[in-house]
Amino acid sequence: MSVRIGIGFGGWPFPDADPQHLWRYVDACEELDVDSLWLSDRIVSSTLNMEPIVALSFIAGRTEKLKVGTSVLAVPLRNPTILAKEIATLDFLSGGRSLPAIGLGTEDETEYEACGTKRSVRVSRTEEAVEVMRLLWKEDNVTYHGKHFTLNNVTIQPKPVFPPDGLPPIWIGGRSEAAMRRTARIGDGWLVSQATPEEVGEGVKKIKTWADEYGNDIEDDHYGALFAFCFADSREEAERIAAPYMLRRREDVDYNSFSAFGRPEDFIELVDRFVEAGADKFVVRPACPPEMMQEQLEILGREIVPRYHPVSDV
C-alpha cells in the first residue's frame, strides 16, 4: 500500500483576502512534497469560499507535482457535461493530477434551488451525472437518455489523461451506509471524514464485500480518510487551539478519536491506526487560527510527510 498525505481546507483559512496567502501556501506544499491539495465546495456562501475547479486550475498551473482534489464536489448542483469538460481540461493541462472526490452536497435546500435543482433528486441526479461523465471521458458521440440528463451524439475534448486508462478515479465521500453502498456500486474509491479508525475498518470491509456483489473493482489503495489536525507541545494545548476551528462535530463520538491533536508522534499514531484499518490516502485539515496556517504546514511537511513519502518512491 502507498500511503499519501494531502492537505485540505474549507472556506478561506488565511488572515485576510489577499490571494498571496494561498500562493505562499501552495508553493510550500510543492516544496515540502505534500501529495495533494484539496478544496471543499460551497457555491452559496456568505463567506469567502473559492469555486474549487477554477481555484484548482490556478494551483495546478503553479505547480508541477502537487495533485489537486475536491473534498468533496457537490455533483447534483452541476451539469455533468460541463463538469466533465472542466475536470477533463484540468486533468489534461495538469498532466493527470486531478482527483475528483464527489458527494451529494449540503442539506440546505436554498443552495439546490439557486442552482436550478432540488435536494429531493440529489441521489439519482448524482448517480446519473457520474455515468454521463465517465461516458464523455472515454467515448465520442455519446448518446444518453436519463431521468435528468439527455445527450445526443455528444463529444467533449480534451479527454482526461489520468494514468493508466485516462479516467480520473471518482472517489465518493460519506459515512452513511447509503454512501458506502454508492461507493461500492459506482465509485473508484472512498473518502470518509470524521470517522474513527475502527469505523473506517468496518466501512472498508463492507464496501469490499458489496463491491464484489456489484461487480465493481475498487483498488485496495483507494480508501482514504479526512481528519483535522493541530500541532502543539501537548494534546491539551492543541485541543484548545483547534476547538474554534473544527468545522463540524459529531455528538455521538469524541472528535479526539478521529483527530490528530498534539505532537507529530500523535499524528503518526493516528495515521498508522487508519492504515491498519485499511485506509492509506489522507486529506488532513489544519484546525488552527489563520496566522498559524503556514507554521502548521511546515511541521506537517518536515515531521510527517518524509515518513510516508520516501524519496525513492516519489
- What CA–CA distance (Å, rounded) separates 3 from 271? 9
pLDDT given at position 1: 62
Amino acid at 224: G
| 130-159 confidence digits (pLDDT tens) | 999 999 999 999 999 999 999 999 999 999
CA 210 from centroid of its chain's CA atoms: 22
pLDDT for 314 equals 42
Angle, vertex CA 296, rays to CA 295 and CA 299, nearest 5: 90
pLDDT value of position 193: 95
239-271 pLDDT, tens per residue?
999 999 987 678 899 889 999 999 999 999 999
- For the cut 60, the answer to whether the pLDDT of residue 9 exceeds it is yes
**What is the Cα 54 distance to its own chain's centre?**
15
Q: Is the pLDDT of residue 312 over 50?
A: no
> pTM for the complete prediction?
0.95
CB atoms within 10 A of CB 148: 16
Classify residue 302 by burial, with Cβ atoms within 10 Å: 0-12, 13-18, 19+: exposed
CATH class of the domain defined by 4-313? alpha beta
pLDDT tens-digit readout, 272-284: 999 999 999 999 9
pLDDT tens column, 79-95: 999 999 999 999 999 99
pLDDT digits (tens, 9 = 90+) for 223-235: 999 999 999 999 9
Cβ neighbours of residue 243 under 8 Å, at least 6 residues apart? none
